[in-house]
Structure 1
Amino acid sequence: MGACVCRMNPDNETMSVSSASISRPASAGIAMGAARKNRPLCHETIRWRSDVPLTEGQLRSKRDEFWDTAPAFDGRKEIWDALRAATNAAEGLDFQMAQAILDGANVSVPNGYLTECYDELGTQYKVPIYCLSYPINIVKEENGRDSPAEYSEPVDGGTEIFLKLRISSTMTDVKLPVYSKDTVGQCKKKLQAAEAVDACCQRWFYSGKLLGDKVPIDECSIHQGYVVQVIVNTEHYNHDNSTSTAHAS
């Protein structure tokens, strides 16, 4: 699967995104040997488009396949484990945690992105872009098993609690009343009803970890008052809305 996105950053450097790596040319006057100089992890989400559109379930399977097989080819397993943890934290917008994980494992990122990393021995590790963020053209699943569309209510709903959710599309905090036995998928539906955010466009992260749709809230270990990050795929959501409007007209 390939993908490519190019743009200019504030320093007028071109950032090229591919399915394997991101390259940022060194500024004039910097020797070639300095190309591996460590940079702080960039606090931004990479935007990219997949050549072959994927559903969320297919993307998760592709990610799992990579992380399960990567240590068998090259590098040390503990470094791959650290990169996976840093990737999850960064996707949940917890960049400080991601940076701390990299620093603790002595991993350097010469271009500021996790697509190209080096351990203290100089071994190179490449993380494909599909492990770092969702493509802007991800396919909405209507009735697939990975879709949060339909979930039966539990017989015992548990106790009522309030989740503090931070919605990425509006950067606002919402207190959502749910039950401890509700699954994440059911809570997404409740957030959709309360805030008009399509459940299929939501991804919930807590403490740098993606929360699966079928996991009950009481198994997510969410501490009272702590924030759950709700990442909204706004491009896909806006595309669906514009398509529906066009059909209606």
Structure 2
Amino acid sequence: MTSQRSDQKAADQNAADQKAADQNAADRPTPDLPEVKGPEGRLVPATDPRESHPREPSLAETERRRWNKTSWAVFIAALFVVIIVPYWGGRVLALNETESVISLIRPIDPHGMALISWTVTVVLATSLAMALMEARKVYWRVLFLIAFALEQLICGVGLLRLNFWNSTYVVYGDAAAPINASNIGVIGAAVGVAVFAVVYVGLLVCIRKDSPLNILTRSWSALTLFFVIEIIALLFVEFSGLSTLV
């Protein structure tokens, strides 16, 4: 009997607590919301837009959503092919089709060969930079692969290495001048890329963000600086006598 009375008392206490909580919630003031016209012209309370609309995604979330795994997988596979096949094919042509290569390059002046190889290397570096900055633009990656394949082919035909003069003379004999010039053009453009990288990193380190000289670190300024350095490298290659050195 005592147990039943205790249970009844506890139930009454819980009911009283619940009633008090409901009363407090009813007495709590509700924020006044402005009224706006609804779809039928009736006035309805305006809601907080943060509750009815999702938040704006962050830059990382946006880039993750735009990431196309298939296209990048194809690009990486094509890059491996471009690294190996054109260079190997160029060496095969140089060693097995030497006369055909000589007949093809003999009419070209060494200065012209240096200009061609320099242009291919500059396009390669430019397209690589643009592919990194504009990752969503597929055509920059395509241009990079084409330029890389051409450069690898030129390096393969030219037997490019640190001491390529001996190799080209053994393979091409007296007709090695245009081949040597093409190698010099590639090396000159590569040196220009290295000089630009050092200068640009130095500017980033030395120039403060609030300095007027910070404009030199902008993308268009950096691109202009890159082409200026590359043109200086081309002029050195063409007029220093390196392009005609056998």
Q: What TM-score does the superposition give when structure 2 sets the normalisation length?
A: 0.22
Higher radius of gyration, 1 or 2 = 2
Greater RCO, CA 8 A, separation 6+: 2
Write 1 or 2 for the structure with the bigger share of helix: 2
Q: Would you tell me which structure has more strand in proportion to its own residues?
A: 1
